[in-house]
Structure 1
Amino acid sequence: MDFELPEEYRSFRDMVRRWMDSEVPKDWSRALEKDEHHYPFALWDKFTQAGFHGVGIAEEYDGQGGDVVMQMLLARELARSLGGLAWIWGITSFAGSKSIGLYGSAEQKAKYLPLIATGQLKAAIAFTEPGGGTDLLGAMATTADRVDGGWRLNGEKIWSSSAHVADYLLVIARSDRGVEKKHQGLTLFWVPTKTPGVTITPLAKLGMRSMGSCSVHFEDAFIADEHVLGEPHKAWYMLLPTLNNERIMVGAFCLGVIDGVLEDALDYMQQRKAFGGIIGRFQSLQHYVADIATMQKTTELMLHYCADKQSRGETVGVEANMLKLMASENANAAADMGIQILGGMGYSAETDMQRYWRDSRLWRIGPITNEMVRNGIAESLGLPRSF
């Protein structure tokens, strides 16, 4: 049993960390996040120049190669500075490269993966229903009806991050109403955002502001057969492996936030003076950073366990949920303690603690609430279904 990363992974991690410190420092990230009306295209372009959009995409499709572990190392290092804005990379990586790479036909892979790898295509996820939240299947009101040459899409999605600048939307809709179980009869679509009948409206929110989140309305939007991913009516069975990947990615982002919180807390405690000396000598604050450091290490171990397991093709559903649960609560608690350590400056928009707190607060809700995660974990242990 070896808990150390191989040299290849350590070299990649260290390269990304140096690049982030040089190209995307925290003060620049903080400035990006303040402007909720302007998507950070400059950040996207930096990722393109660095080749990050191609991490996890095979070289035959102009990608950089790399497995789930390498993607999670990248996610962690991005979030240390960017916090939730690391999703600028993560959304297209999940919605595009993961989905096209797993469910796409040979023609779809050849067409879209090179565009994603080279930063020429942005994607967004449009799964959540306005009246459903975590109850995606029970609330599924978006429908897809078969017509000549394709499908007619009607309905509405909400909290589709970056949809207003995306080229394509990954959309799940009910395509067969005559099924016995809610997870049956669903189809996955790769919808061009310029399709007539698709209307995208930005929403105001607490964190990750400049990334933008939107409602998406479909009114008799025609989606050609070539934009169906995988087999019609079988979307839920296809999605499960990528949903696990999304939870692992959230774990990596949360760990990056913990990294940033600990880094900033230690720096402040060693410089700020009060009552005749640096505040780092106060035992109560030392206990806070000890707790944050412990959260960092336990989250790291669980992340590496899940990412390694998935990279080897092993089932990781329950563990990925445990990681998402633990990582999101650790990150939010760490950021809250970070605010307390900085005092008034922790509440100030001039520092990053408040940004880490606002961004990590979302991960306790999405992509699935921690309450629902706990339900699933309990059920996996043999207890009766509670919902």
Structure 2
Amino acid sequence: MDFELSEDQRAFQDSVRKWVDKETPKSWARELERNEHDYPFALWDKFTAAGFHGIGIDEEYGGQGGDVVTQMILGRELARTLGGLAWIWGITSFAGGKSIGVYGSEEQKQRFLPQIAEGKLRAAIGFTEPGGGTDVLGALRTEAVRGDNGWILSGEKIWSSSAHVADYILVLARTDKNVEKRHQGVTLFFVPAKSPGISITPLPKLGMRSMGSCTVHFDNVFVPDDLVLGEPGKAWYMLLPTLNNERIMVAAFCTGVLDGVLEDALDYMKQRRAFGKLIGEFQALQHYVADIATWRHSVELMLYHTAWLQSSGRPCHIESSMLKVTASEYAVRAADLGIQILGGMGYSAETDMQRYWRDARLWRIGPITNEMARNGIAEALGLPRSF
């Protein structure tokens, strides 16, 4: 078994790490995060200049290429300093690049993928309903009915990150109510965010502040047929394979947070003095950083393995669920210990531990709650469905 990155992957990782240290240091990330009303267009533009929006998009469509392992390396390195702001890259990569690249038509790929790769198109995701949370299908009230040469979309989505600055929103809607099972009869639309009938309201929240999350209301919005992704009524079957990619991406961000937390904790313990000695000499604090390093190593191995399965075309739904649960819970625990190590400075907005904690806390809830992920793991082990 070989867990080593290839020479090209190591070179890519090294180049991204140097770029991150120069272009997106933690001090700048703190400044970006202070105002949740100001979307960090400057960060998006830096990603554009570096070519990161093209990672994962085939070269024939103007991208840089690269499999899920390459995307995982990029996501991890970005999150080391940016924390949750790495989603500025990740959302469009998933909602636009990944989704259109997997189930878009050739015409849609030619139309949208080059724009995404060039950083000229921002996308958002509109799956979650106000009364639903993880119960996406059970709470699905957004619907679309046939119109002339298209569909009429009505309903409401919540926690649609960056929708207020998006060019398109990837929307899941019910298009057929006469179905035997609720996962049938749902369709994916790539909806222009400035279409008549769309209203977007930002939501205040705990972490990932400047990225912005929104409620999106659709009031008889016309969506032409050429913006339907895949076959109408079959969206859930198309989505399932890409959900593994999303969970792997979340875990990569969590691994980056673990990197950043450990880095900051060690730096502080080597400088801070108390009771006549460096606090790095205190056994209790040494145990804390040993735990953080152990958690990171565990998550790193799971991440490499699951990304390898996905890139090899092998089944990895259970592995990606296990990975997402483990990575998010360790990232939150590590950031909490990091606050404890720094004491009052860990609670201060002048350092990054509190930012890591606030950002990582979301990943225990989304894109699927860890409780629901555990339900799926248990069911896959032969236990009865519990919900």
What residue in structure 2 maps to residue 162 of structure 1? Answer: 162
| Partner amino acid, structure 2, of 1:184 | Q
CA positional deviation for 1:36: 0.6
Alignment of 1:37 onto 2:30: no
What residue in structure 1 maps to residue 346 of structure 2? Answer: 346
- Measured against aligned partners, the alpha-carbon deviations of 1:241-278 in whole angstroms (never above 9, x if no partner) come to 11110000000000000000000000000000001111
What residue in structure 1 maps to residue 268 of structure 2? Answer: 268
CA positional deviation for 1:79: 0.2
- Measured against aligned partners, the alpha-carbon deviations of 1:164-218 in whole angstroms (never above 9, x if no partner) come to 0000000000000000101000000000011111111100000000000000000
Alignment of 1:145 onto 2:145: yes
Count of aligned pairs between the two proteins: 387
Structure 1: 5+ residue stretches without partners: none
Alignment of 1:379 onto 2:382: no
Partner of 1:189, secondary structure, is strand
What residue in structure 2 maps to residue 7 of structure 1? Answer: 7
Partner of 1:209, secondary structure, is coil
Partner of 1:132, secondary structure, is coil
CA positional deviation for 1:34: 0.7
CA positional deviation for 1:147: 1.1
CA positional deviation for 1:148: 1.4
Alignment of 1:104 onto 2:100: no
TM-score, normalised to structure 2, is 1.00
What residue in structure 1 maps to residue 82 of structure 2? Answer: 82
What residue in structure 2 maps to residue 324 of structure 1? Answer: 324
Trace 1:1-387 onto structure 2 (pairs within 5 A): 1-387=1-387
| Partner amino acid, structure 1, of 2:156 | E
Write the distance in 2 (CA, Å) between the matches of 1:62 and 1:132.
Answer: 37
| Partner amino acid, structure 1, of 2:310 | Q
| Partner amino acid, structure 1, of 2:303 | L
Write the distance in 1 (CA, Å) between the matches of 2:262 and 2:164.
Answer: 34
| Partner amino acid, structure 2, of 1:345 | M
Partner of 1:42, secondary structure, is helix
- Percent identity reads 74
Write the distance in 2 (CA, Å) between the matches of 1:306 and 1:113.
Answer: 26
CA positional deviation for 1:59: 1.0
Write the distance in 1 (CA, Å) between the matches of 2:317 and 2:197.
Answer: 36
CA positional deviation for 1:33: 0.6
Deviant stretches of 4+, over 4 Å: none
Q: What RMSD over aligned residues (CA atoms) do the two structures have, in Å?
A: 0.4
Structure 2: 5+ residue stretches without partners: none
Partner of 1:211, secondary structure, is coil
CA positional deviation for 1:60: 1.1
TM-score, normalised to structure 1, is 1.00
| Partner amino acid, structure 1, of 2:333 | A
| Partner amino acid, structure 1, of 2:264 | D
CA positional deviation for 1:62: 1.1
